């Protein structure tokens, strides 16, 4: 395994690893986080939805089935949730996590949290709850084509905690693939803020595919700027970036 460290403009080296393809990216991401789970079974994980982490979740499901990994003592906090969909809605992120991970592993479902309350209303005390659980040990992230992380779109203030956002048209279009049509995509969501994400002790950012290459280039090699929300990760003391060759294609060799 070859780690490339680059000194980003944020002055803290990000650990960047480039894998050949999505499958090997998923394998590597799964083992990087599984290592932490094995070291600390009471781990608090920050979870992400979207297409990118699905491969990593599949690897974990197999590892749990084979008896090599357990989430029995783990706690999870998802990054974000749509507003206006209840938890049983097949397009809610709660449902996504249930289908892609939770129902296949040995996690205690009462220890899996989302930033909405029992009435599906925004849960603004999310960051306090995370701190009560002694903070997120490992936050998993995907990245949007415009450099967003969670639902923190370009221009977002780096200092915000969990908050409600109106989704941009580009994000609604990108997420329309999970719905029958773009009209069905909710207009609002609640997301951990960039400060919530930066409070995690460790961050693992995943990106696959050429359509993420510009976002990765701008976020990793450019200035730290609200224009590219993920660029704040250059200032995180423990951030690992796992890419496939396509997503890394614009980075300097």
Positions marked active-site: 80, 146, 148, 153
CB of 173 to ligand PGA, least distance (A): 11
Cβ closer to ligand PGA: 133 or 226?
Answer: 226
CB of 128 to ligand PGA, least distance (A): 25
Residue from 8, 26, 52, 240 binding ligand PGA (CB under 6 A): 52
Q: What is the largest CA-CA distance in the chain?
A: 50
Which among 45, 29, 124, 43 has a CA at the least distance from the CA of 81? 124
Q: What is the x/- site pattern for ligand PGA, positions 59-98, by CB under 6 A?
A: ----------------------------------------
What element of type H or E holds 245? Answer: none
Residues 124-143 that bind ligand PGA (CB under 6 A): 142-143
- φ, ψ at 214 (rounded to 5°): -70, -40
Is there a contact between 108 and 41 (Cβ–Cβ < 8 Å)?
no
Q: Coil, helix or strand for 85?
A: coil
**Alpha-carbon gap, residue 232 to 180, rounded angstroms:** 34
Q: What is the x/- site pattern for ligand PGA, positions 12-51, by CB under 6 A?
A: --------------------------------------xx
**Alpha-carbon gap, residue 242 to 19, rounded angstroms:** 7
Is there a contact between 71 and 37 (Cβ–Cβ < 8 Å)?
yes
**Alpha-carbon gap, residue 225 to 151, rounded angstroms:** 16
147 counts as binding ligand PGA under rule CB under 6 A: no
Closest residue by beta carbon to ligand PGA:
50
Q: What is the x/- site pattern for ligand PGA, positions 160-199, by CB under 6 A?
A: ----------------------------------------
Binding-site ranges for ligand PGA (CB under 6 A) = 50-52, 142-144, 148
């Amino acid at each position: 395994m070859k780690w490339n460290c680059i000194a980003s403009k944020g002055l803290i080296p990000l650990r960047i690893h480039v894998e050949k393809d999505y499958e090997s990216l998923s394998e590597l991401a799964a083992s990087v986080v599984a290592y932490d789970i094995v070291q600390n079974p009471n781990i608090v994980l920050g979870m992400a939805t979207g297409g990118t982490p699905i491969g990593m979740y599949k690897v974990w499901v197999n590892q749990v089935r084979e008896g090599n990994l357990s989430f029995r003592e783990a706690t999870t906090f998802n990054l974000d949730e749509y507003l206006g969909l209840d938890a049983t809605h097949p397009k809610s992120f709660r449902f996504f996590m249930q289908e892609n991970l939770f129902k296949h592993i040995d996690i205690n479902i009462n220890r899996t949290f989302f930033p909405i309350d029992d009435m599906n209303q925004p849960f603004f005390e999310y960051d306090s709850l995370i701190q009560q659980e002694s903070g997120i040990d490992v936050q998993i992230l995907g990245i949007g084509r415009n450099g967003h992380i969670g639902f923190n779109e370009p221009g977002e203030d780096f200092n915000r905690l969990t908050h409600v956002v109106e989704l941009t048209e580009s994000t609604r279009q990108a997420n329309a693939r999970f719905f029958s049509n773009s009209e069905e995509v909710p207009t609002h969501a609640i997301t951990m803020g960039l400060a919530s994400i930066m409070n995690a002790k460790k961050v693992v950012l995943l990106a696959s595919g050429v359509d993420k290459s510009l976002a990765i280039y701008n976020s990793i090699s450019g200035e730290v700027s609200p224009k590219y929300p993920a660029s704040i990760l250059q200032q995180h003391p423990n951030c690992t970036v796992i890419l496939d060759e396509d997503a890394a294609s614009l980075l300097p060799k």
